[in-house]
Structures are given as structure tokens and as C-alpha cells.
Amino acid sequence: MGACGVNDLLVLIMVMILGCACAKSNQNAVVSSGLPNGTTLPTMIGDNVLRLTVDGDQCLSSPSTAASSVVPPNAPCVSVTVCPPGTSSSSASQCQVIPGLLVDTGSVGLRVFKSVMNHSLLSQLVSVAAPAGGIVAECVGYADGSADWGPIAEATVFLGGEPGVNTQIQLIDSTYGTASVCGGNLDQDPSHLGYNGILGVGLFPQDCGTACESTNSTLNPGMYFSCSGTLSTATNCNTTPISLAASHQVQNVIAHLPVDPNTGTQDNNGVVLMLPSVSASGAPEVDGYLILGVATRSNNTPASNVVAYPPDPSTGNITAMLNGVVNEAFIDSGSSFYNFAAGSSTGNLADCGNYNSAYLRAGYYCPLNNANAVQSISLPISGYNGSQTSLISLLMGNPLDLIGVNGNFVFADIATGSSLSGMASNTVDLGLPFYLGRNVYHGYAFKSSSLGYGPYWAF
């Protein structure tokens, strides 16, 4: 903490660039962040604890090197229980445990393939009425150009031992109504995606928020639509998006957790992902925890050296410096790799397509000197307010030599990047590899904890 006396060239350069010296104020202190978690975690217990496995038994299936395998490396999975709205107990007969959900801190909301829900549950879920008639469906686009399409349902969702949350979820169905309004690259089924669905636990309370409330078509992102039909089938959907109140949108389930009657705590202000370290050669799978709430109980209270990094409210990004260039950055468990979309500034990493042309379009990054196959990278990370910088040291291996070798699919040292080089802004995606070995705290917007007022990431 507070390493103002560190006489390190990199720190000096950073302080110069950030334009504020330690001696002048308490701004821009630099902390070096190692990996506090060993290869095995202590056992965590509580109503707010969900088992989280990376490519383990909470996932839909194990990844393999077979061409047909769609489960990526570094897939963090949990199970939740979905029930008809108003259900008071997760053990009620009409509820269904849904395993194989990707825990995605880069998105918001629970989305489950309709095809994995049993008929009795589906028949008891309730549609959401669109303001001008019909029921609400949604088109959610992802950064990779794919999208989820399907109706919105009211349900009660149970996470761990917490009380149920009455909320809206999406039922993914690429054949629902006029699916073409959502484009041509729709997620079709679990075998296509590798998951039964996605549990988005990102920093915001809804997947869209006030923008989707706007009646101005130049401002409204146009994610929500009205369809005539039921949750099961729709005959037609209006191709013009609707405006929809935030309270009717797909919600961040955790942000709406009620008080746990067993403990009197309310774990609705964020989540902690807790995962062990892995060696440079990786591991077949790892076991960890998704812990609900930040500093609401002893099991989610951060160590004293954990620091919050708030994102720029307009972009949702913090910054990461790579080879002296400041990049926009974000932390995202749904990304399987580190992604350095940093144009020419990645320096000592290069497209693996240089070594194996089959990977030219995959965007894998390899150490520039492929024979060494390990490359160290220094990555200073700063929050929007620039109050503190964490100096992260990474080792990057060669994904072509790692993925699937000895059955390993979990790695802290794999990166992609070239597929996005030259994008509008230089961007660093701190994906699931960043989570291996350190607890990452996600503080929700409009909520506070001992780490501060959200949104923030802390580690």
C-alpha cells in the first residue's frame, strides 16, 4: 500500500504521464498486486455462496480439443433455480435447477435457453405486457456480433441459499416470432453456445437502463420489441423497437436480493468472484465461489489492501497502460482470454497466425519470440478518478501450446488481440485469466459498501 517511496522507473514514468506525484498529494499511489490466492481456496459457507467452477462440474459439459467442442477454455459456470413468479421456496415442485450458466461480469441479467426449461415451469412463467399491446421480447447484441433473441418472462430466481428474487429474465429462442428483427447471428441452442444460458452479474441494475426508456429513436438503443403471442410462440413481432420502463427490463438478479431472513443481511450491493491460482501450464478445471454482496458478511469482506477502481461513468471503462500507451480497460469474467486490442503497442506479443496460419483469424496472441513461449507483461491499472494505480504483472504463454494439452482448459496466461487491432480505441479486456488467483469485487451502481459507492471493480 501507498508505495510513494518506490524508486522504480516504470512508476516514475507512470506518475509523469498521469501528471500527479505522490509527494504532492495522496493521488496516484501505486500498489503492486500479486496473486493472493493459492491453488486451493478455503471452504466458503453461507446463504450467499454459490459454487463456481471453471470448466468444471457446474458447466454444461467439459471442453475438449474435438472440433465439435463449443465449450471454450476458462468458462466460469454456476447453477441457479428458476421458479414461477411468487414462489416462496426453491424446493417447490414447479421449480427447476438450471446448471451450466456462464457467469458473465460483462453483461447484466439472467438468460436461459427456452429449450432447456421443462414444460410445467415454462407454462407457469408470466409474460411482460408491452406498453402499446402485445408482450415484450428482447434482442441483446454482444460484442462479438452475436445476439440473444426471445421473450421476457417474470420469474422467481433463487441464488444459493438466498431468498427468491421476483424479476424479469430472458427466454432465449432464435425461432421466436419475427426473429429476423434481431439480425442473422442468433444463439440457437445450448449445443451451439456451450451453455444453458448466461447469468450476467455486471455492475448495473438493468441490461439497458434509462436509454431504453427513451421515446427518441436516435437515443433509444432499440433492444426491446413487442410481439403478439405467448411466451411459447409468437405470430408476429413489430420491427420498430419499443420504449420500456427500466423496472420492466431484464434485471440484475443480485441487485434485487431481499434481506436474507436467516442472517438479516442484504447482499444486493455487488458480487465477489473467488478463484484459485493455476500454474503456467494451466489446469483441467478449478473450483471457486461466486459470493453475493460486498462487505455484507464476513465471507465477502475484503482484505485491507483491496482497492476500488471506479470506471468512467460514460464508458464503463478503467484504464490499463501497455507499453507506455494508455488503453481503455474493463474486467470481464465472460471473456476467455486477456484481449489486448492495442494496435501496435502490444510490442512483445504477436498474432499466433504468424506461427500457424490456421489461427490467423482466431486472434490468438503468442509471445513474439515463440520459442520462449512465455512473455512477461507489466500492466498498470488505474480507476477513472486516478486515485490509485495497481501494477499487475502477467505472464503470457502460447495458447497453441497450452489449450487442451494434458487435458488443461483453465489458464491465467492466454491472450487474444490481433482480431481487434486498429479498433476505434485501444482497449484491454481483463478476462477470466485475470480472476485466477485473486478475489475481484464488483460494486454495483447506486449501491455502496466499505469499498465505496458503485460502480467499481476492486481487487
Q: By CB under 8 A, what part of segment 130-189 binds other proteins?
A: 141-146, 183-185, 187
- Residues across the chain: 459
Q: Pick between residue 47 and residue 429 the one whose CB is nearest to other proteins.
A: 429
Q: Considering only CA atoms, which of 153, 139, 120 is closest in space to residue 229? A: 153
Least distance from C-beta 331 to other proteins, angstroms? 10
Per-residue binder mask for other proteins (CB under 8 A), 104-133, x = binder: x-xxx-------------------------
Task: Write the DSSP symbol of residue 122.
Answer: H
Task: Determine the residue type at 58.
Answer: Q
For residue 232, which of 114, 135, 137 has the smallest C-alpha distance?
114
* Contacting other proteins within 347-366 (CB under 8 A): 361-363
Phi, psi at 57, each rounded to 5° = -75, -10
Nearest CA-CA partner of 28 in 388, 324, 437, 284: 388
Among residues 84, 160, 190, 241, the one that binds other proteins under rule CB under 8 A = 241
- The region of 164-172, 259-267, 269-277, 335-343 touching other proteins under the rule CB under 8 A is 335-343
For residue 28, state whether it binds other proteins (rule: CB under 8 A). no
- Residue of 222, 282, 310, 433 that binds other proteins (CB under 8 A): 222
**Is 317 an interacting residue with respect to other proteins (CB under 8 A)?**
yes
Secondary structure (3-state) at 115: helix
From the CB of 60, what's the least distance to other proteins, in Å?
12
Verify binding: residue 332, other proteins, rule CB under 8 A: yes
Sheet with 325-331, edge to edge strand ranges: 29-33, 388-396, 375-382, 318-322, 325-331, 427-430, 338-341, 415-416, 364-367, 349-351
CA distance 29 to 388: 5
Interface segment toward other proteins; rule CB under 8 A; list 19-27, 163-171, 219-227, 436-444: 219-227
Contact 114, 89 (CB under 8 A): no
Q: How far is the CB of 74 from other proteins (least distance, A)?
A: 7
The stretch among 213-221, 230-238, 379-387, 388-396 that binds other proteins (CB under 8 A) is 213-221
All residues at 6 or more sequence positions from 430 whose CB lies less than 8 Å from its CB, including other chains: 320, 329, 330, 331, 332, 335, 338, 381
Q: Does 281 bind other proteins (CB under 8 A)?
A: no
159: exposed, middle or buried (Cβ count in 10 Å: 0-12, 13-18, 19+): buried
What residues make contact with other proteins under the rule CB under 8 A? 67, 69-70, 72-75, 102, 104, 106-108, 141-146, 183-185, 187, 192-195, 198, 200, 202, 204, 207, 211, 217-223, 241, 315-317, 330, 332, 334-337, 339, 341, 343, 361-363, 416, 419-420, 422-425, 427, 429, 431
